[in-house]
Structure 1
Amino acid sequence: MTNTLVSTSAPPLPVLVAAAGERASIRFLEFFTATIRNAHTRRAYAHAVGDFLAWCESAGVPALTAVQPLHVATWIEGLTRSHTAPTAKQRLAAVRHLFDWLVVGQVVAVSPAASVRGPRHVVRVGKTPVLDPAEARALLDSIDVGTVIGLRDRALIGLMVYSFARVGAALAMRVEDVYPQSRRLWVRLREKGGKVHALPCHHTLEDYLVAYLDGSGLRDDPKGPLFRTIGRGTGRLSERPLPQASAHAMVRRRAAAAGIETPLGCHSFRATGITAYLANGGTLETAAVMANHASTRTTQLYDRRGDRVSLDEVERIRI
């Protein structure tokens, strides 16, 4: 019966879970398919849980109900030696949430992860690489927009810079999510947790999006994905949405072609836009609203104006 309920989005059953019986197996699968809606979170949690239960099996833990806080703590201690503190904390959170779910389902009596503390980690400034305005401008200007690929890439990068959009939200957009309102072009983004976020376009972003829509012929397919792959050997947009891995590869390729040595990722454009906005007199509170952050403390992690101050001060050391 369990096999008929397995979703393609659920991870394979670990040995300890399968050995615990059908009830435990179903509850385990429900944790991933019923409680976690974000595909990236599901993959990350499945990796963490699978790693922990495989470790338990190799350590000689005989059953799922025999997992103790000592096992969780020892596993986390090993993770802190080979991984960063945020990674260890995220994996502990995955294991903790799973066992909480199993406790509620009466598969195990108590959660062995509840009393285990993760490594201490304090973050005041984000680590995401950021471009200065001149570099961002050079990157955008370096893209050849004589092809639909160039129009697409410039529009996607511009969207992440000027609207502070996460790459996942940008790639989830449909053509109809770019629409006119109050004589300006607006974009509609579906962010984490199912939150829908709309904001007007910067005039430069408006130019990029209009050029892309006009050059791609996508206006006749409002329900279709906005950013698409290129059909093999055709040079034309396909019906398939652009995957995140392809977007990351595109960003690295465009940055290299523009002579930018900073190791960029898609999230760099979000941080670049927020930093540029704040450097030009924008407020932290408004930046948080534009970025759809629940707290300004999150927005502060993207504020890299201090990097410029630090560099200026270092240059005072004249020898």
Structure 2
Amino acid sequence: MSTAQLAAVSFLARYSGRTHRLYSFQLREWFAWCEGHGLDPLVGVQRAHIELHIRGLAERGLMDSSVVTMMHGVRGFFRFAHIDGLVPADPAVYARLPKVHRDESRTQGLDRLELIRFLQVSQTLTVHHGALALLLGINALRASEAAAVRIEDYAETLRGHRVLRLVGKGKKPATMPVTVPVLRALEACRGDRAEGPLILRPQSGNPIDRRDVYRMVTRIATTAGIPRHISPHSLRHAAITNALDAGVPLRDAQILARHADPRTTEHYDRARGNLDRHGVHFLTAYVAGV
């Protein structure tokens, strides 16, 4: 095994699931590019080589955001190779990437009335749809997180609050309160069961997966008469933006969303329905003498 291959195996061992598959693909692309240009994928690589690879990705027709994503695995590969002493310097750290502006979240969320309608309609379908809708639209869970909730995960009381314990993105543990309406829906979904996966497929009784979450959300949205595509992330988006509209401070909204970086929550803040407070209204009134 070459030094580059050893570094790749060591780097990829840090990850699992979708992230592992994504980074594996990105490193295969990098190794193939290096082979085509007569380069060792690790030793002797210069910043110029990294930037030529970036240019090659763009010339293949990838969008700027996709190019940046494709470089996540490559940059991590060199960063940890440098940390491990396999290369004297990290050639990717200053490599120029396309500028991608992410000031606003592009997800189509739901406003307050739409969220209320969605949650109400979900309760009329099945107890499983009702529990799922509240976990997504109130507790801001991701699709995979909601599908993974077990009955045992919300059995504990902490400081007077019934809490839900889960393992989120990046295997980060989280604890969040379960409000009374959500608890009622979870208990109705649980029925007489004492353990095991909480939300089941209504027809078969088998545990749901991410694809089932998407299908169930689509069914609720269609029944609720929401005339656009609604995904599980739309519900997470709605939970965050409606919390901000309700006056929840940005820091507390960040905790609700479980965002490591507050700038991620700020993207939701800028994208939400805050046009009523936009400065153009005040400026128009000012110059009009109102």
Smaller-chain TM-score range?
A: 0.7 to 0.9
Q: Aligned pair 1:256/2:222, yes or no?
A: yes
TM-score norm. by structure 1 comes to: 0.73
Q: Aligned pair 1:278/2:244, yes or no?
A: yes
> In the aligned structure 2, how far is the partner of 1:107 from the partner of 1:285?
40
Partner of 1:29: 9
Flag the 1:78–1:229 CA change in 2: closer, same or farther, 3 A.
farther
The answer to whether the Cα contact below 8 Å between 1:252 and 1:264 also exists between their aligned partners in 2 is: yes
Aligned residue type for 2:197: P
Flag the 1:294–1:26 CA change in 2: closer, same or farther, 3 A.
closer
| Residue correspondences, number | 277
Aligned residue type for 1:60: H
Secondary structure (helix, strand or coil) at the match of 1:186 reads strand
Deviation at 1:279, TM superposition (A): 1.3
Between the aligned residues of both structures, percent identity stands at 27
> In the aligned structure 2, how far is the partner of 1:22 from the partner of 1:227?
47
Aligned residue type for 2:146: A
Aligned residue type for 2:77: L
Partner of 1:53: 31
Aligned residue type for 1:166: R
Partner of 2:97: 118
Structure 1: any 5+ residue segments left out of the alignment? 1-20
Flag the 1:100–1:180 CA change in 2: closer, same or farther, 3 A.
closer
Structure 2: any 5+ residue segments left out of the alignment? 285-290
> In the aligned structure 1, how far is the partner of 2:90 from the partner of 2:249?
43
Deviation at 1:254, TM superposition (A): 3.2
Q: Deviations over 1:67-115 (max 9, x none)?
A: 5433321232343463343332232221011123344556556544233
Superposition pairs of residues 1-319 of structure 1, within 5 angstroms: 21-33=1-13, 35-37=14-16, 39-57=17-35, 59-64=36-41, 65=43, 67-80=45-58, 82-104=61-83, 110-143=89-122, 145=124, 150-179=126-155, 181=157, 185-214=162-191, 217-219=192-194, 221=195, 224-229=196-201, 235-238=203-206, 241-303=207-269, 304-306=271-273, 308-309=275-276
Q: Deviations over 1:36-82 (max 9, x none)?
A: 25x2322222222223333344x433543465433321232343463
> In the aligned structure 2, how far is the partner of 1:251 from the partner of 1:135?
13
TM-score norm. by structure 2 comes to: 0.80
Q: CA RMSD in A?
A: 3.1
Secondary structure (helix, strand or coil) at the match of 1:187 reads strand
> In the aligned structure 2, how far is the partner of 1:184 from the partner of 1:247?
27
The answer to whether the Cα contact below 8 Å between 1:49 and 1:94 also exists between their aligned partners in 2 is: yes
Deviation at 1:116, TM superposition (A): 1.0
> In the aligned structure 1, how far is the partner of 2:164 from the partner of 2:77?
37
Flag the 1:24–1:248 CA change in 2: closer, same or farther, 3 A.
same
> In the aligned structure 1, how far is the partner of 2:3 from the partner of 2:31?
17
Q: Deviations over 1:175-211 (max 9, x none)?
A: 1112253665422222234332222223332222121
Partner of 2:287: none
Deviation at 1:162, TM superposition (A): 0.8
Aligned residue type for 1:279: D
Flag the 1:297–1:105 CA change in 2: closer, same or farther, 3 A.
closer
> In the aligned structure 2, how far is the partner of 1:296 from the partner of 1:106?
33
